Amino acid sequence: MQRIAACVLAALAFVLLGAPATASAHGPIRYVALGDSYSAASGVLPPDLTAPPQCLRSTSNYPHVIAAAIGAQLTDVTCGGADTGDYTAEQYPGVAPQLDALAPDTQLVTMTIGGNDSSVFINSILQCGAAGLSTLGKGSPCKDRYGSSFENTIRNVTYPSLVRTLQAVRAEAPRARVAILGYPWIMPRTGGCFDRMPVAEGDVPYLRSLQTTLNDAVRRAAAATGVTYVDMNRVSEGHDACAPIGVRWVEPVLQGTNPVIVHPNALGEQGMAAQAMKVLRLR
């Protein structure tokens, strides 16, 4: 009777909580990492010498941290610069569509994606940086010029692309636990650090709002497709690019340690891994 009860409880836990993504008697879990430069840890040492050189992938990226922690069999196809279109088409000659890495027996999938769609991420940083330099950090020249255009693109273009992409991931890996991470904070709420992030003081909350809109689009797309959303907002607070070395998770434009600017450092990748493992209950 006790054995039957234990089996019933185990089955109930499976239904309510999902299959645990940990190594089992059948071998290590089959884990596929998809996504862009925040998943690839572009610029972080050491580089992944097995990756296409254009992808700037690091073996210190959060997928490698997770795989090492849970003993997973990792297939890492993360690639710097990727957007949702690169899930179904070659990003570079010889770099296969990322969905090709998935299979019916894939058990775990993680990613960051969406920040490069329509070049919103890089354009906002570049345009706001240039605008900030033009006013020596005064006012809100970027907001004054671009208004809601960046956020409108995220809501009207990026969000539906994310929904289609996550639906495609689930179709290619129907048995997998799929998670998409939000992006850790790049800018603080207010103030900024003009010597490291040349953004006008009035545009600091403008860029922060833009990233809030992007992360919310990721969250909503995950909810619409039954994918787990890994919220980075709270845990990355205070670790933005204006924080000092050893605290910040994202490197600034100037005086940084990563040649790929405005991207996570190794500490940031570890923070992303820790939050993903917590949300997915991988520990």
Beta-bridge partners for 207: none
Question: Residue 18's pLDDT band (boundaries 50, 70, 90)?
Answer: very low
Q: Token pair for residue 48?
A: 């992944």
For 47-51, 117-121, 151-155, 157-161, which range has the lowest pLDDT when averaged over its residues?
117-121
With a CB cutoff of 8 Å and minimum separation 6, the contacts of 56 are 37, 40, 42, 43, 47, 79, 80, 260
Q: What value does the mean pLDDT of the chain take? A: 92
With 0.75 as the threshold, say if the pTM is over it. yes
pLDDT exceeds cutoff 50 at 9:
no
**Helix or strand holding residue 134 (H, E):** helix 120-134
Q: Which residue has the higher pLDDT, 1 or 156?
A: 156
Does residue 40 fall inside a structural domain?
A: yes
Average pLDDT over residues 47-58: 97
pLDDT digit string, tens, across residues 81-90 = 999 999 999 9
Q: Are 72 and 108 in contact (CB under 8 A)?
A: yes
- What are the tens digits of pLDDT across the range 35-46? 999 999 999 999
Does residue 278 carry a pLDDT above 60? yes
**pLDDT over threshold 50, residue 8:** no
Whether residue 53 is predicted with pLDDT greater than 90 in this model: the reply is yes
22 is a domain residue? no
Q: What is the mean pLDDT of residues 269-279?
A: 98
> CATH number, domain at 90?
3.40.50.1110
Tell me, what amino acid is at 68?
Answer: A
Q: Is residue 130 part of a domain?
A: no
Q: What is the mean pLDDT of residues 3-28?
A: 45
Q: How confident is the model at residue 14 (pLDDT cuts 50, 70, 90)?
A: very low
Query: What pLDDT, on a 0 to 100 scale, did the predictor assign at position 122?
Result: 83
Determine phi and psi for 208, rounding to 5 degrees: -60, -40
Residues 6 or more apart whose Cβ sits within 8 Å of residue 161: 83, 84, 85, 114, 117
Write the CB contacts of 179 (distance below 8 Å, at least 6 apart in sequence): 108, 109, 110, 111, 227, 228, 229, 230, 276, 279, 280
Asked if residue 14 belongs to a domain, the reply is no
pLDDT band of residue 25 (cuts 50, 70, 90) is: low
Question: Please, how many CA atoms are within 13 Å of residue 122, restricted to the half-sphere of its CB?
Answer: 13
The first and second tokens of residue 237, run together, are 């607070």
Q: Is residue 51 part of a domain?
A: yes
Residue 183 · residue 249 · CB < 8 Å: no
- In the chain, DSSP assigns E strands to 30-33, 73-76, 108-111, 177-181, 228-230
- Taking residues 225-254, report their average pLDDT: 98
Percent of the chain whose pLDDT exceeds 90: 88
Report the number of distinct structural domains present in the chain: 1
Residue 12 lies in a domain: no
Tens of pLDDT, residue by residue over 125-173, are 889 999 999 999 999 999 999 999 999 999 999 999 999 999 999 999 9
Please choose, from the candidates 58, 185, 35, 194, the residue with its C-alpha nearest in 3D space to the C-alpha of residue 116.
35
Asked if the structure places residue 3 within a domain, the reply is: no
Report the b/e string of 84-100 with b at 16+ CB within 10 A. bebbeeebeeebeebbe
Q: How many CA atoms lie within 13 A of 7 on its CB side?
A: 4
Q: Which domain holds residue 256?
A: 28-117+154-188+212-279
Could you list the active site residues?
Answer: 37, 263
Specify the 3-state DSSP secondary structure of 210. Answer: helix
Tell whether 227 is covered by a domain.
yes
pLDDT at residue 2, rounded to an integer:
38
Say what the pLDDT of residue 61 is: 98
Overall average pLDDT of the 278-283 stretch? 93
Give me the pLDDT at residue 123, please. Answer: 86
Cite the DSSP H helix spans in 204-246. 204-225
pLDDT (tens digit per residue) in 185-236: 999 999 999 999 999 999 999 999 999 999 999 999 999 999 999 999 999 9
Is residue 32 over pLDDT 70? yes
